[in-house]
């Protein structure tokens, strides 16, 4: 159910400490950890601890939590000393979403092409 931990959700398991992750930042409502398959020198995922399946459901269901996630992306960029970085929310399989728990990718530390592929 939206907002509650889901049994088969990888990121809910990371929040619960059942699967290890390299955590770089934590707040009461958010968690940031390094992507296991980094696409840039800095590639951190920022998630709400509560389960929402994508960014739109998060924004609709918990606007303050969505703001917390965005604030955490900037905090991660500051921690990583990134002047420029990209925040990506993939939504839907066609856009590359593979984990159905809302997450922001924070990418930086190299030149980032625009438009992206």
32-50: buried (b, 16+ CB within 10 Å) or exposed (e) per residue? Answer: bbebeeeebebbbbbbbbb
The token pair at 83 is 């002047």
Q: Which of 9, 59, 75, 99 forms a contact with ligand AMP (CB under 6 A)?
A: 99
As a whole number of Å, the end-to-end CA separation of the chain is 33
Under the criterion CB under 6 A, does residue 7 sit at the interface with ligand AMP?
no
Under the criterion CB under 5 A, does residue 102 sit at the interface with Zn ion?
no
Q: What residues between 76 and 95 interact with ligand AMP by CB under 6 A? A: 90
Q: How far is the CB of 17 from ligand AMP (least distance, A)?
A: 13
User: Is residue 105 flagged as an active site residue?
Assistant: no
Describe the strand order of the beta sheet including 30-34 as a list of residue ranges: 23-26, 30-34, 42-48, 104-108, 85-88
Residues that bind ligand AMP (CB under 6 A): 10, 19, 21, 33, 35-37, 45, 90, 96-99
Residues that bind Zn ion (CB under 5 A): 6, 9, 11-12, 51, 101
């Amino acid at each position: 159910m939206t907002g509650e931990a889901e049994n088969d959700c990888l990121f809910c398991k990371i929040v619960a400490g059942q699967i290890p992750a390299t955590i770089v930042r934590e707040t009461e409502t958010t968690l940031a950890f390094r992507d296991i398959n980094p696409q840039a020198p800095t590639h951190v995922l920022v998630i709400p601890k509560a389960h929402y399946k994508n960014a739109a459901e998060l924004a609709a269901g918990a606007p303050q939590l969505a703001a917390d996630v965005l604030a955490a992306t900037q905090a991660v960029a500051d921690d990583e000393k990134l002047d420029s970085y990209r925040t990506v929310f993939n939504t839907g399989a066609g856009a590359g979403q593979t984990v159905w728990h809302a997450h922001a990718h924070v990418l930086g530390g190299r030149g980032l092409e625009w438009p992206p592929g």
